Amino acid sequence: MTCRTDKNNINLLGHSEQNIRLERLKALMAEAAIERALIRDNANIYYLTGRVFRGYIYIDIALERPLYFVRQPKHLHCEADSCLFFIRKPEEIANILSENNIERQSPVALELDAINFSEALRLSSCFGQTPEKNLSPLLRQSRAIKTLREQDMLRASGVKQSFVYGRLPRYFREGMTDIEFQIEIERASRLEGCLGQFRVAGGDMELFMGNVLTGDNGDNPSPYDFAMGGEGADPSLPVGANGTVIRPSKPVMVDVNGNYNGYMTDMTRMYISGNIPPEVEHANNVSIEICNSLAAMMKPGVKASELYNKALEIATAAGLADNFMGHNSHAGFVGHGCGIEVNELPVLAPRSRDVLAEGNVIAVEPKFVIPGIGAVGIENTYIVHKQAPAEVITTAPTEITTLD
Amino acid sequence: MTCRTDKNNINLLGHSEQNIRLERLKALMAEAAIERALIRDNANIYYLTGRVFRGYIYIDIALERPLYFVRQPKHLHCEADSCLFFIRKPEEIANILSENNIERQSPVALELDAINFSEALRLSSCFGQTPEKNLSPLLRQSRAIKTLREQDMLRASGVKQSFVYGRLPRYFREGMTDIEFQIEIERASRLEGCLGQFRVAGGDMELFMGNVLTGDNGDNPSPYDFAMGGEGADPSLPVGANGTVIRPSKPVMVDVNGNYNGYMTDMTRMYISGNIPPEVEHANNVSIEICNSLAAMMKPGVKASELYNKALEIATAAGLADNFMGHNSHAGFVGHGCGIEVNELPVLAPRSRDVLAEGNVIAVEPKFVIPGIGAVGIENTYIVHKQAPAEVITTAPTEITTLD
């Protein structure tokens, strides 16, 4: 069924799986009047081949198969019906195309939201052009709808992440700081197979392995566009744990890396030592209620903005409007697509124009910051199917886990 | 001396330190006939303020102080002689400049090697322009020469990294895989204060916390432009440890994250359980010899290419030319600048046109891959001073450490 047994095959997806992704992208290209494209962002190369290599994938809607132009590594090869060329630099591509009689005059679309300005100029000049057509939105759209294989990868990631979360109480010791607790969670995740790497689209958002927030640090805003903030351990990476000692009855929010196979699930759970203050219990219950309500609504055709509004409505009815998605500073969304990268489509935000489709994988994270207490809330990742409710793939228990 | 006591000051460097960096950048701008620039890459914002924020730094060579345009977080402020504006989007910048009578017609230079094509278009259109002047090379040049403060940050990082490396034998257990050993090294590093984050310029190179290589995996090429490869644990991140069991007398190369404060030292050391094969001892000694010889040469005015040639010459004389910087696949350099990012200037490569300057911080990593045995070699980070030899700031013992 797949070519995975041959680990030097450039296409680790196998023909049929690759074709599903390629045909979807080509259909979007045709719609956008784009005849050909050159892809070189690691996340997109992984999407189209199941591996990361240094080089380019050339797609022409008139050609059945993609052409591979590889800089590194040199030991790759491809199926008999495809073509792979080893190159030293992208300037060789146009010549190779013309030698193989696959010349065209039409603009070559590039990933203009992913590659830097200088590289975009260089790549388009390889074809005697200037950058014009942007392939990034098409890839985002294509990747937002996960194939059955991708859904399986995400389910597998969710199982492992849930297993690790279930074991967290054994890593807690009284008097620990948030950073010390996070380090033990990182180790447990890694031992379970977490790859550690946290792929994020764009160069703005930076994070190391995830976010553990306790006490007042939950109210420290961060420059990054994550749902929650935190001061961080250093001004060079101002997000997340900051060395706060985990105190009894202070909630601990754990939102740690779910990348076990190249696809990321996103899950948050609450932990606490000692008594659970009623406000914390309440906020966590409201968060669970929002997740369940949104899951019950999530099906093809539903507007992402409706889901956000529903979440805000429930939070407001519960008296938590001022605490919803932050207190000193508020995140502008309650959920986001995830997969190869953690910030995919659709985005559940008030002004989002995204509409849900079958195969979307969406992390829903209704979180609250309560001054003097901390950050509270859960996050689940869901697969959108033909019928509601959406399937939850982050299955750790949603209630607050005690750490004693 | 500094403003660090006020943690909401946007400039955590203090006036005098910031001025050193700004004046160097402005001098380079003047040389390149660039009158003004807009900076927004996290690494460069950190360089110029000592913190990461979401927004822009506007520099005009005619203005003494930079202007800050901040999107997040909202609690920052600046010194009385500077100006900070909170904005929602970059389109507001031009209006604010004109309201403050700091209008100009000249092109605004942007970080065209760091920001994506779409963003470059958007930012320049905020000024009614198209992208023209590239600020990236100037920032690279400025950042290549570390200030005394930056040198101190790097020394501090080197001390912590060396301390962690000295403790590695206690984390080794017989029968461990390379990944299991790496996880313990990651934990030890994190507990000592390592921030985990590995800043790399450009979107191509990806790595999680560093590289542990043993046995034949040392000869597995990777798509990334690191000195050594490795298959990695998954095709979505094909570099480094791949689950190989660490066998007696098989060398283990440890090259793990040295980011303890926003500045990264780069250090590699060799570990082994059981007897040290003579080829491994020999290769490690040659690597040490190359490091020492290059350190003795490193001073202002020396060509980076000369250093590479010297390294290759020593390797060749030792009978290791075919193993130098790889075997199946060869890295094209023997050293590189490091600091806020791990791939800074100068680059010690055969065709490098870089010339050493006082204040350069350079990682030298003469490494060998011996078929059937593995990867062998050390890496040290050096500060270039007025006089040779360069100062080594990664001070763990260079001989092979036994793991029994």
Strands A269-272 and A401-402: parallel
With a cut of 90, say whether residue B80 has pLDDT above it: no
For B208-266, where are the alpha helices, taking DSSP H only? none
Look at phi and psi of residue A207 and say left if phi exceeds 0, alpha if psi is from -120 to 50, else beta.
Answer: beta
Kindly list the residues from chain A whose CB atom is less than 8 angstroms away from the CB atom of residue B229. Answer: 73
With a cut of 70, say whether residue B222 has pLDDT above it: yes
Please tell me whether the interface predicted TM-score (ipTM) of this complex is above 0.90: yes
Using alpha carbons, list the distances in angstroms from residue A238 to A233, A338, B42, B46, B85: 7, 23, 11, 11, 20
- Please state which of the ranges A323-332, B135-144, B150-159 shows the lowest mean pLDDT: A323-332
The interaxial angle of helices A15-31 and A42-49, nearest 10 deg, is 120
Q: How many CB atoms lie within 10 A of CB B174?
A: 12
Judged by a CB distance cut-off of 8 A, whether residue B388 touches chain A is: no
Q: What backbone phi and psi angles, to 5 degrees, belong to B280? A: -70, -45
Judged by a CB distance cut-off of 8 A, whether residue B261 touches chain A is: yes
DSSP B189: H
Q: What backbone phi and psi angles, to 5 degrees, belong to B295? A: -60, -40
Q: How confident is the model at residue B243 (pLDDT cuts 50, 70, 90)?
A: very high
In this predicted model, which residue has the larger pLDDT, A328 or B162?
B162
DSSP states along B2-22 = -STTSTTBS-TT-HHHHHHHH
Rounded Cα–Cα distance for residues B326 and B222 (Å): 11
With a cut of 70, say whether residue B1 has pLDDT above it: no
Q: What backbone phi and psi angles, to 5 degrees, belong to B39? A: -115, 135
- Alpha-carbon gap: B363 to the closest alpha carbon of chain A (Å): 21
A92 exposure class (CB count in 10 Å sphere: 0-12, 13-18, 19+) = middle
Rounded Cα–Cα distance for residues A137 and A113 (Å): 8
**Torsion, CA B163, CA B164, CA B167, CA B171, rounded to 10:** 180
Residue A80: predicted pLDDT? 83
Average pLDDT, chain B: 96
Please judge whether A329 and B73 are an interchain contact, meaning their C-beta atoms are less than 8 angstroms apart.
yes
Judged by a CB distance cut-off of 8 A, whether residue A88 touches chain B is: no
Q: A368 in helix, strand or coil?
A: strand
Cβ-based neighbours of A80, under 8 Å, separated by 6 or more: none
Task: Return the closest-CA partner of residue B186 out of B173, B168, B170.
Answer: B168
* B366 prior amide bond cis, ω within 30: no
Residue B5: predicted pLDDT? 59
Rounded Cα–Cα distance for residues B331 and B334 (Å): 8
Please judge whether B203 and A12 are an interchain contact, meaning their C-beta atoms are less than 8 angstroms apart.
no
Q: Best mutation site among B56, B122, B197 for testing chain A: the one with the most A CBs within 10 Å?
A: B197
* B389 prior amide bond cis, ω within 30: yes
Rounded Cα–Cα distance for residues A110 and A41 (Å): 10
DSSP states along B121-177 = HHHHHTTT-----B-HHHHHHHHHB--HHHHHHHHHHHHHHHHHHHTGGGG--TT-B
Please judge whether A236 and B136 are an interchain contact, meaning their C-beta atoms are less than 8 angstroms apart.
no
* Predicted structure pTM score: 0.97
Mean pLDDT by 10 residues, chain A (404 residues): 70 97 98 98 98 98 96 92 94 94 92 98 97 98 98 98 97 97 98 96 90 96 92 97 97 98 98 97 98 98 98 98 94 97 97 98 98 97 98 98 93
The interaxial angle of helices B178-191 and B148-166, nearest 10 deg, is 130
Judged by a CB distance cut-off of 8 A, whether residue B136 touches chain A is: yes
Judged by a CB distance cut-off of 8 A, whether residue A287 touches chain B is: no
Smallest CA–CA distance from A239 into chain B, residue: B52
Please judge whether A203 and B42 are an interchain contact, meaning their C-beta atoms are less than 8 angstroms apart.
yes
Using alpha carbons, list the distances in angstroms from residue A385 to A296, A299, A357, A390: 11, 6, 8, 6
Please judge whether B113 and A115 are an interchain contact, meaning their C-beta atoms are less than 8 angstroms apart.
no
Rounded Cα–Cα distance for residues B6 and B16 (Å): 16
Structure tokens given for B158: 């080197």
Q: Which of B74, B197, B222 sits opposite A221 (nearest CB)?
A: B74
Kindly list the residues from chain A whose CB atom is less than 8 angstroms away from the CB atom of residue B187. Answer: 183-184, 186-187
Judged by a CB distance cut-off of 8 A, whether residue B34 touches chain A is: no
Judged by a CB distance cut-off of 8 A, whether residue A206 touches chain B is: yes
Using alpha carbons, list the distances in angstroms from residue B289 to A370, B281, B323, B367: 59, 12, 16, 12
Rounded Cα–Cα distance for residues B68 and A351 (Å): 28
Rounded Cα–Cα distance for residues A391 and B54 (Å): 35
Please judge whether B202 and A116 are an interchain contact, meaning their C-beta atoms are less than 8 angstroms apart.
yes
Residue with tokens 């259109």: B125
Look at phi and psi of residue A358 and say left if phi exceeds 0, alpha if psi is from -120 to 50, else beta.
Answer: beta
Q: Best mutation site among B76, B236, B256 for testing chain A: the one with the most A CBs within 10 Å?
A: B236
Residue B2: predicted pLDDT? 43
Judged by a CB distance cut-off of 8 A, whether residue B112 touches chain A is: yes
Residue B404: predicted pLDDT? 84
Cβ-based neighbours of A349, under 8 Å, separated by 6 or more: A304, A305, A308, A332, A333, A334
Rounded Cα–Cα distance for residues A205 and B76 (Å): 19
The interaxial angle of helices A304-317 and A278-297, nearest 10 deg, is 150
With a cut of 70, say whether residue B3 has pLDDT above it: no
With a cut of 90, say whether residue B82 has pLDDT above it: no
Judged by a CB distance cut-off of 8 A, whether residue B197 touches chain A is: yes
Residue with tokens 């689940």: A380
Residue B381: predicted pLDDT? 98
Residue B174: predicted pLDDT? 95
Please judge whether A120 and B117 are an interchain contact, meaning their C-beta atoms are less than 8 angstroms apart.
yes
**Per DSSP, which regions of A50-137 are E strands?**
54-60, 67-72, 83-86, 108-109
